[in-house]
Amino acid sequence: MKINVEQVTDRLAGHGEGPAWDAATGLLHWVDMLAGDMLSLEPGAGAVTRTPISSVVCAIRPRRAGGLVLAVERGFALLDADSEKPRILPELWPAGTVRMNDGGCDPRGRFYCGSMATDDRPGAGTLYRLDTDLTVSVVLEHVSISNGLAWSRDGGTAYYVDSGTQRIDLFTVDAAGDLVDRRPFVTVPAEVGTPDGLCLDAEGGVWVALWDGGAVHRYGPDGSLDAVIPMPVARPTACTFGGPDLADLYITTSRPSADDPTPSGALFRARPGVTGFADWTFAG
């Protein structure tokens, strides 16, 4: 099944990423990653606000008590609901050629984000977890390009993309909330594109953006490809469900060059006929 998509904004981002729906405020947040800015859309009004965060900002999730948690170049940050100035938490590593990339929250209210080398060298990344007391733990090492991470509606399974593997993998979530028993879910052929950010719908489908593939794919719970959203740009980066009924699939995109003639860097929206579910939020 092919699904149509519409352009929502102008080409606002160089490298758009990390969309997250904030149900408390009715805003869709995403990042202009390498500009270090958060973009926020009020869907009904169509107005977009740009908030400077840091030199690089990679991922965003709402906090249960209000405000946002963010991943920045070398760690994490908190943004209170009544503030436009983030509190940058202690850096996890010194300046160099590694930066954070993408992440998500688990059912226990912890925020995960993984890193990658800016020169794309394999195995240089790490998946980190920010606990609710603001301590940080290492979850996975020797990751290449840590990308989409999302938990199932029942919280028992996590879906994860290390783009260097060309796969979406599954983890079982054990009684302690840890990720165990990693195994392949879907392998995306390289000629189709590279799996990037992902999200889940209420029926257990997995939606994944295909970098250099010009599409978003839906894989059913059994791993079969059952829907495609063709994109008018080469590099969709991530997707999330939003809107009051969680029926809109928002898709971020990246601009490969300043003179790219396509609407790359814009935000897009599709109505795929299924809804999302309330995403997990950060409890710290």
Neighbours of 118 (CB within 10 A): 14
196 flagged as catalytic: yes
Phi-psi region of 153 (alpha: psi -120 to 50; beta: other; left: phi over 0): alpha
Kindly report the backbone phi and psi dihedral angles of residue 93, in degrees, each rounded to the nearest multiple of 5, phi listed first: -155, 160
**β-pair partners for 2:** 228
CA–CA separation, 131 and 128 (whole Å): 10
222 Cβ contact partners less than 8 Å away, ≥ 6 residues apart:
none
| Token couple for 190 | 């390289």
3-class secondary structure, 112: strand
| Token couple for 203 | 């029926």
Active-site residue (options: 102, 196, 201, 279) = 196
CA–CA separation, 143 and 161 (whole Å): 10
**Sheet with 236-242: strands ordered across:** 5-7, 268-270, 248-253, 236-242
Cα end-to-end distance, the chain, whole Å: 40
**β-pair partners for 70:** 60, 77
Helix (H) or strand (E) holding 187: strand 179-187
The catalytic residues are 196
